[in-house]
Structure 1
């Protein structure tokens, strides 16, 4: 049997005493939709909506946006200053190094990872995942995407800080782009928990990666305005909008190996 890597530091930072740092990865250089994180939705940038939802969850001790050192991402840093949220800059493609750098600058017991292309993030789901993590001692990683029942774009994941540093030592290739993927790819090494919510709404696509996604998100925010919409309310509304749901139903999600 393979030995587990050492990822724990006694009983410090357990339960509700655990200090969770939210890290939002954001950059301008998307292959399919460049500049998507700063597009405006109902008067607020996509990044701004993610930052607001993370803050509104009420479970984060700190929040930082992790962007790259590429000059094109000066615009992301400027938006962070406007939003009054901390910004850490690191490598363009080695996102895991970027996260560890952000954690070094903003220490915590665990990291909640967000991506800046999820403007419909639900603060209630963020809070729920934090509560589950606090309630289960000894977890290295918890995520809603292991057995997906949520729409793509509303997933939440949390990783123990020491486990993130272990990932930094072990992960190579595409695992350094996807930050936490090595943890759930190697469950024999890490204590991993999947969080599922019912009913299953995994058929909905509410992330932003293509123009088709943009059309759907624009329609949602045109209807609801500049507010965070609970998933149940949003899904009920979309149930009556088959034309909108069809807008991006055919979009293929890139595989992990495709950066």
Structure 2
């Protein structure tokens, strides 16, 4: 709720529902359980009230040490595999997440890191990362750099353990210039148009990409926004 560029963004409403509600509705379509890892800050109490109302499992932890928050959530719920997504992606594509999980499971490799964001070909807003609880636990106990603690997975995907294998989940075409995440008022304007005017919340990820291909005026709404960089 304390986003610097758009405070309260995950509970901002579009078409009568919050951004977080759309996000969770789509993730549930993957068929896997969903957990919200939020902070102990009083400012995030509205997120907890939302979780209780929607019967969504949640965990509260440190605001800055997001790695510890993920680890605590995974440990408390006895998870074997973690799929990391961020709540500012209301149009995340559940079919892509599900397919990524199926690919990951087939490898039977606890040292594998699978993601569609490290080598980006999908729009920003479809991002997911998949890794084992064992890797998360190792990062929790070994990572010390501020960016590792804040951004959860750099210790893993920068291969500082030295033994990580990678699977880059790629789109057939490079659509990385499309931005359907929520960080700024311009992002909100685009998401509002997509959902209210085009019912994008009912579309698959590939259908959303096709929609953006057909409407460059939508892409232009937030094309100038730059993603915040990792800080050290």
Question: Structure 2 length normalisation: TM-score?
Answer: 0.94
The equivalent position to 1:100 in structure 2, one of 71, 96, 103, is 71
Unaligned 5+ segments in structure 2 are none
CA-CA distance at 1:225 after TM superposition: 3.1
> Is 1:213 the equivalent of 2:187?
yes
Distance, in Å, in 1 between the alignment partners of 2:178 and 2:223 is 8
Q: Please, what TM-score do these two structures have when normalized by structure 1? A: 0.84
Specify the alignment match of 2:126 in structure 1.
154
The Cα RMSD (Å) is 1.5
Which secondary structure does the structure 2 equivalent of 1:234 belong to?
helix
Q: Is the 8 A contact 1:121 1:228 kept in 2?
A: no
Partner of 1:144: 116
CA displacement, residues 205-240 of structure 1 (integer Å, 9 cap, x when unaligned):
010000110111000001233734212211222222
Q: Which one of 111, 119, 133 corresponds to residue 104 of structure 2? A: 133
Structure 1 stretches of at least 4 aligned residues deviating more than 4 Å after TM superposition: none
Question: Aligned partners of 2:195 and 2:86: how far apart in 1?
Answer: 19
Residue 248 of structure 1 pairs with residue 219 of structure 2: no
Residues 117 and 153 in structure 1, CA contact (< 8 A), matched pair in contact too: yes
Aligned counterpart, 1:54: 27
Rounded Cα–Cα distance in structure 2 between residues aligned with 1:45 and 1:169:
35
Q: Please say if 1:34 is aligned against 2:7.
A: yes
Shift of residue 41 of structure 1?
1.9
Partner of 2:18: 45
Give me the whole-angstrom Cα distance separating, in 2, the residues matched to 1:83 and 1:190: 37
Q: Is contact 2:91–2:200 with CA below 8 Å preserved after alignment?
A: no
Alpha-carbon deviation of 1:191?
2.3
Q: Distance in 2 between matches of 1:239 and 1:108?
A: 38
| Kept after mapping to 2: 8 A contact 1:100/1:165 | yes
Deviation, structure 1 residue 242: 1.6
Q: Higher helix share goes to which structure?
A: 2
- Structure 2 match to 1:123: 94
Flag structure 1 segments of 5+ consecutive residues without an equivalent.
1-27
